[in-house]
């Protein structure tokens, strides 16, 4: 059973196709691993073992009939931001209570259509607002990695901390996640996994609990670049129910992994060499440049001069959109309802009890920047600078095919270390928010270990709808890095 859990997504699919084991055997092994590990890691807010076994049996029956989909029998975890028909969906918040959607998100519907098996719903920062998975109403996720010689619990990153921790600890073959400012890529970097935020509009947002609608995008977290490509191919596709979904075909992204990168031009933005960057992050970045050169890519310097404004722009636009999106949680139609003598008191009491501190902070910021007298000074100005950030990328991509940066400014930090300093927490997104603001794809892959023996990631950013080039480059870097490390099992 342990061998089943250590499989990659591709290895599991190949094994089931060859008849080496069944989907039910695989699902039972994963269920047992979750039962053993989740009390310590808190990666799943809701395990669904009975549903997993039933879906696996149905998958085996389809395979026996010759009707196997591209993910037939693959046991995966679902971030608890995706609506799952008949299965509780909370967005990590008390205000949704025991909300059970009567509908399925488009992304998960796509996965079930391809034969995937659901192991459960994965923990996350409340409404996906956070960089450490400590704002969840269900408590923090614990990173399966530990520093060398230390038993200090570490963050897996956020908001998709449950997804990243579950993949790293072999509690699923792969997982769905979402990325609004780095919530796929930063957790992937902290846990030694691969995560890609695709182009805005590549995956449907329908049925995903909204945080900031112009920034949110679904994507996979997986064990390898190829696994991420396989899962993204199944997740993506045009959806008429989402007005921002792009009406474009979805290539088989796994076909790009392993392709030669000779002649591809990769840019290195000097604007990302921020003050105080740790030496080991800078050294890893330089190592990544050498790997790409050795693989035949051309590396050159590029300028992204408005990068320095990205964090303040993001932390105006995202809270503004969150303030608007979260206005629907009023205790009237679904979720938590607190008593009150008047309708206004019901609203006030419900929202005060239902939202956590970080969500309240962002609602207040968002409401402030949208208010009369401040809209032009803050929100409108932020949107204008956002356009400049996108223009920077457009200019850079006239000269290069992709851009290489670090994923995060540090390795995983301890739980509780930054909860009292929101600005220090927000700085975790310094390398990732630009791609969300510009709507571009970005992939993080594990590239080495810190001095404390913790994973460090590198990020590749590509042109809109050019995930294929990112998968080719990431595949070459993955091969060069040879990252095979796994967390020592302490749980």
Catalytic residues: 79, 159, 183
d(CA 156, CA 42): 11
The CA-atom distances, in angstroms, between 117 and each of 75, 175, 185, 207 are 5, 11, 24, 18
Burial zone of 485 (CB within 10 Å; 0-12 exposed, 13-18 middle, 19+ buried): middle
C-beta of residue 405 within 8 angstroms of C-beta of residue 443: no
Peptide bond between residue 159 and the one before it cis (omega within 30 degrees of 0): yes
- Per the listing, tokens 């809209």 go with 375
Q: What is the DSSP letter of 385?
A: H
d(CA 302, CA 267): 6
Largest CA distance in the chain: 70
| Strands (E) located in 309-355 | none
C-beta of residue 206 within 8 angstroms of C-beta of residue 179: no
- Per the listing, tokens 């591809």 go with 264
Chain-centroid distance, C-alpha 270:
26
- What are the φ and ψ backbone dihedral angles of 164, each rounded to 5 degrees? -65, -45
d(CA 99, CA 120): 15
Here the tokens at position 422 are 């929101």
Q: Which of 53, 139, 135 minimizes the C-alpha distance to 360?
A: 135
**How many other C-beta atoms lie within 10 A of the C-beta of residue 488?**
10
> Contacts by 237-243 with C-beta closer than 8 Å and gap 24+?
237/106, 237/110, 237/203, 237/204, 238/204, 239/106, 239/204, 239/206, 241/106, 241/204, 241/206, 242/106, 242/204, 242/205, 242/206
Contacts of 453 (CB under 8 A, 6+ apart): 147, 148
């Amino acid at each position: 059973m342990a061998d089943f859990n250590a499989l990659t997504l591709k290895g599991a699919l190949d094994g089931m196709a060859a008849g080496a084991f069944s989907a039910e055997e695989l699902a039972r092994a994963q269920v047992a691993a979750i039962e053993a590990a989740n009390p310590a890691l808190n990666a799943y807010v809701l395990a669904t073992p009975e549903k997993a076994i039933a879906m696996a049996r149905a998958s085996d029956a389809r395979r026996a009939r010759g009707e196997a989909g591209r993910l037939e029998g693959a046991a995966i975890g679902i971030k608890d931001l995706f609506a799952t028909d008949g299965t509780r969906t909370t967005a990590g918040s008390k205000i949704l209570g025991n909300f059970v959607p009567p509908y399925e998100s488009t992304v998960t519907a796509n996965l079930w259509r391809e034969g995937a098996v659901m192991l459960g719903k994965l923990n996350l920062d409340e409404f996906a607002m956070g960089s450490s998975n400590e704002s969840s109403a269900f408590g923090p996720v614990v990173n399966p990695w530990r520093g060398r010689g230390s038993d200090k619990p570490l963050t897996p990153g956020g908001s998709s901390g449950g997804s990243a921790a579950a993949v790293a600890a072999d509690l699923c073959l792969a997982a769905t996640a979402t990325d609004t400012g780095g919530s796929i890529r930063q957790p992937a970097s902290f846990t030694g996994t691969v995560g890609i935020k695709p182009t805005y509009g590549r995956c449907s947002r329908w049925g995903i609990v909204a945080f900031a609608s112009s920034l949110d995008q679904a994507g996979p977290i997986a064990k390898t670049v190829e696994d991420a490509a396989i899962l993204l191919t199944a997740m993506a596709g045009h959806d008429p129910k989402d007005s921002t979904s792009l009406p474009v075909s979805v290539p088989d992204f796994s076909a790009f992994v392993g392709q030669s990168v000779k002649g591809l031009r990769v840019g290195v933005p000097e604007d990302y060499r921020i003050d105080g960057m740790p030496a080991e992050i800078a050294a890893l970045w330089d190592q990544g440049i050498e790997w790409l050169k050795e693989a035949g890519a051309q590396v050159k310097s590029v300028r992204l001069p408005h990068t320095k404004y990205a964090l303040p722009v993001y932390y105006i636009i995202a809270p503004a959109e969150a303030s608007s999106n979260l206005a629907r949680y009023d205790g009237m139609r679904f979720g938590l309802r607190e008593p009150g003598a008047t309708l206004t008191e019901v609203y006030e009491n419900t929202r005060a009890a239902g939202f956590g501190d970080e969500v309240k902070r962002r609602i207040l910021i968002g409401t402030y920047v949208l208010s009369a007298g401040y809209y032009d000074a803050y929100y409108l100005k932020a949107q204008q600078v956002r356009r400049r950030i996108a223009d920077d990328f457009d200019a850079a991509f006239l000269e290069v095919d992709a851009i290489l940066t670090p994923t995060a400014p540090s390795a995983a930090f301890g739980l509780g270390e930054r909860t009292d300093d929101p600005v220090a927490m927000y700085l975790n997104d310094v390398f990732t928010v630009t791609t969300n603001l510009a709507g571009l794809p970005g992939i993080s892959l594990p590239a080495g270990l810190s001095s404390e023996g913790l994973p460090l990631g590198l990020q590749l950013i590509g042109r809109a709808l050019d995930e294929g080039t990112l998968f080719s480059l990431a595949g070459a870097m993955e091969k060069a890095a040879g990252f095979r490390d796994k967390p020592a099992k302490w749980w």
